Structure 1
């Protein structure tokens, strides 16, 4: 007769292996969804900037309509509204609808970010993107593999994001270079921390709910995780661009 402890240990090992395999699949879906969102954003920004038809990046008709009218304020703040709305409605959406919502948000972000092609040189944008991608990959990998519990960072980082948001809105009207510089430095540090924090949180949430194996919850969780990491990447990129971007 097999020893009970041996059987129990063997069963636990099987469950652990299943969770590990499921976690890899879950994280692949998170990064895959995030990558598609990044591609949609890049294509939307590239198209509206006019680079698709002119190397000089002359605005398209839609771009001129946006930046030469009050519509630019709607495009600027609409992604922020969508982020808050997403957290409120995701439980009422199906996984497919949540994914469509995320891709719609990514498109709107592309419209909002299209002006960087008119402000910074194309080469500096590409270089900053590559630097951001390398930094993001390293930070996310550390957050995934570290044994250190960094969940305590969350409240401080969120407070930092709120402070950045308030300071950025105020500086739209003040136009202070000193405030802009300070916001950029803090922004890089805060979103670097959030990249590691969000990665570990996605992993921890999956492990805590893996036993239930609710496919609908897992699908929505992957989309929400992709949104969080997408925002970390975009903000890290934009703050780094303030330092590394060469202006036209």
Structure 2
């Protein structure tokens, strides 16, 4: 494995700087992305090759997650059971961190995780399909357009988003704290503000991770790591957009 410290194409390691002073990625992974050795730069072909792997895995991940959601809806999965699925998915994600270098097993764990994520969302999606299908499909469409647009911008722009990492990490902590406060402080205005902040933070993560792929070595573990991060980022972006649309629909 390449030394992940001070060895990106610029020699300083902005995309290897740990969030919040801790060497881990957005979702707690202990896996250090493999960047290029000092003095080397990614060619356009190498960057495109890694991004091609990520997009292929990401597309299949969302397809499998959709199958999981459809299965959960068809069997009438309840909220209590979905909590167990979430915990099981967390266990699979931890296993993936330890086995991400194991060819074959890593992909199996990746797609098992995405299936479980889709399954866990089944009660929520089922409720919206029954009560407010228009809002659900609007959220899907907005998320897709926003994610693709942000991704294209991050890939083509000359702006550097590497410094966003620390701010996004602390923004994520703020969202978690706000979510806990929301259990006790039930205010529509508070929920609306939190939802918009959530959209801003996860939009920033889309920019950060897509651009990060330019400076990572073209390896399967890197592709899997980026796929997990982008997958969870887009899922969270969708949930916050869905929340915003739901809030405003109640005001009509």
TM-score normalised by L of structure 2: 0.72
CA distance in 2, matches of 1:31, 1:25: 10
Structure 2 unpaired stretches of 5+: 1-39
1:28 to 1:230, Cα distance in 2 relative to 1, 3 A: same
Aligned length: 206
1:174 to 1:202, Cα distance in 2 relative to 1, 3 A: same
CA distance in 2, matches of 1:163, 1:198: 20
Is 2:239 the partner of 1:231? no
Residues 56-135 of structure 1: pairs in structure 2 closer than 5 A? 60=75, 63=77, 66-67=78-79, 69=80, 71-80=81-90, 82-83=92-93, 85=94, 88-91=97-100, 93-120=101-128, 121-135=132-146
Is 2:207 the partner of 1:196? yes
Please tell me whether the aligned partners of residues 65 and 118 of structure 2 are also in contact (alpha carbons under 8 angstroms).
yes
Residues 136-215 of structure 1: pairs in structure 2 closer than 5 A? 136-172=147-183, 175-206=186-217
Equivalence for 2:241: 240
1:160 to 1:86, Cα distance in 2 relative to 1, 3 A: farther
Q: Which has the larger radius of gyration?
A: 1
Please tell me whether the aligned partners of residues 167 and 183 of structure 1 are also in contact (alpha carbons under 8 angstroms).
yes
Residues 47-62 of structure 1: pairs in structure 2 closer than 5 A? 47-50=71-74, 60=75
Structure 1 segments (4+ residues) deviating >4 Å: 80-83, 172-176
> Could you tell me which of 32, 47, 53 is aligned with 1:29?
53
1:105 to 1:175, Cα distance in 2 relative to 1, 3 A: farther
Structure 1 unpaired stretches of 5+: 1-14, 51-59, 211-217
1:170 deviates by 4.4
Please tell me whether the aligned partners of residues 82 and 119 of structure 2 are also in contact (alpha carbons under 8 angstroms).
no
CA distance in 1, matches of 2:207, 2:60: 21
Please tell me whether the aligned partners of residues 82 and 123 of structure 2 are also in contact (alpha carbons under 8 angstroms).
no
* Bigger share in helix: 1
TM-score normalised by L of structure 1: 0.73
1:175 to 1:105, Cα distance in 2 relative to 1, 3 A: farther
Deviations along 1:197-241, whole A, 9 cap, x unmatched?
1111111123xxx6xxxxxxx011111111111111111111101
